[in-house]
Amino acid sequence: MLGFVTQQQIKAVIPAAGLGTRFLPATKAMPKEMLPVVDKPAIQYVVEEAVDAGIDDVLVIIGRNKNAIANHFDSVPELEVKLMEKGDTGRLERVVKSTDMGDIHYVRQGEPKGLGHAVLRARTHVGDSSFAVLLGDDLIDARDPLLTTMLDKHRETGATIIALMEVDPDSIHMYGAAAVEETGTDGFVKVTGLVEKPAREDAPSNLAVIGRYVLPPAVFDILERTEPGKGGEIQLTDALQELAADADGPGVYGVVFGGRRYDTGDRADYIKAIVQLAADRDDLGPELRPWLKEFAERL
């Protein structure tokens, strides 16, 4: 049974051990989570989001090419000295920020047997507490906070909390889809069932599961016995379905997210993320925005 969980106890788990086949050959020697989104790798945005939500212990699940991620969050004294000598305080600040983000730990997945399998690798580190999972290639715009709301809802209810987003019914086959009931609170629904990557006609709704979860430790026992599902992978969605079906447990609830989200594991979405984030920035926007307008007119 879940205890009352304080923000301090919550750890974040960031699975980043997938093969990233949609980005080959860029991801042949580099995890997709290290692809730059403007001037930071995608995973740094995700770690920053966890830290901004008050979490100071982050476990990254790494696969092959693990060193790139661990090196990124390590300090590089010679680089810092060089920037200091040049008086480049802006860049120095940005470099130091990437090494100064709470406690980051790493565990290997070994073989990429699916998201459920990656989450199970966090068991020893997380122990008997609830924890947050943030997918390393799924960016939530810092201007539209989601994780904080999810942690608050978890604290209020003790339930599993997932993030949902309305998608075009033609796209639901790329996500987990949720069957839901209203709770009476806007943007907060009870999840009664989940299906991984359903055909449009089999989808219970057009509410797609996106890459943020607040999970109870009970999910580990379920994942231990979850058989490979869709795509031959151990699916987190299948374990969530079991939590949702457990009439004696606290259940599964969804926070319906209406903000800006970028799936950087998808090539078109990755490009959109870079364009949108760069165009909104004070340092790059003034140059980019007029160019984008002119470019759009030429299309």
- Which residues are at the interface with ligand UTP (CB under 6 A)? 15-22, 61, 109, 112-115, 117-118, 135-137, 265
Output 137 or 238, the one with its CB closest to ligand UTP. Answer: 137
Tokens of 203: 């989808």
Output 115 or 147, the one with its CB closest to ligand UTP. Answer: 115
Shortest separation between residue 205's beta carbon and ligand UTP, angstroms: 21
Tokens of 262: 């970028």
Shortest separation between residue 133's beta carbon and ligand UTP, angstroms: 9
Output 16 or 203, the one with its CB closest to ligand UTP. Answer: 16
Shortest separation between residue 164's beta carbon and ligand UTP, angstroms: 16
Instruction: Give Cβ neighbours of residue 13 (< 8 Å, ≥ 6 apart).
Output: 58, 59, 61, 119, 122, 125, 126, 131, 132, 133, 134
Q: Residue 109, exposed/middle/buried by CB under 10 A (0-12, 13-18, 19+)?
A: buried
Q: 40-41 and 36-37 as β-strands: parallel, antiparallel, unpaired?
A: antiparallel
Q: How far is CA 178 from the centre of its chain?
A: 18
Shortest separation between residue 229's beta carbon and ligand UTP, angstroms: 13
The angle formed by the CA atoms of residues 142, 8 and 216, to the nearest 5 degrees, is 85
Shortest separation between residue 93's beta carbon and ligand UTP, angstroms: 28
Output 116 or 254, the one with its CB closest to ligand UTP. Answer: 116
Residues 246, 152 contacting (CB under 8 angstroms): no
Task: State how far the Cα of 44 lies from the Cα of 277, in Å rounded to an integer.
Answer: 14
In the complex, which residue's CB is closest to ligand UTP?
A: 18
Beta bridge partners of 13: 59, 133
Shortest separation between residue 3's beta carbon and ligand UTP, angstroms: 28
Output 209 or 222, the one with its CB closest to ligand UTP. Answer: 209
**Residue 84 Cα distances to 73, 77, 79, 171, 179, angstroms:** 19, 10, 9, 48, 55
Output 131 or 188, the one with its CB closest to ligand UTP. Answer: 131
Shortest separation between residue 211's beta carbon and ligand UTP, angstroms: 7
Output 86 or 267, the one with its CB closest to ligand UTP. Answer: 267
Residue identified by tokens 């759009």 is 296
Task: State how far the Cα of 115 lies from the Cα of 120, in Å rounded to an integer.
Answer: 9
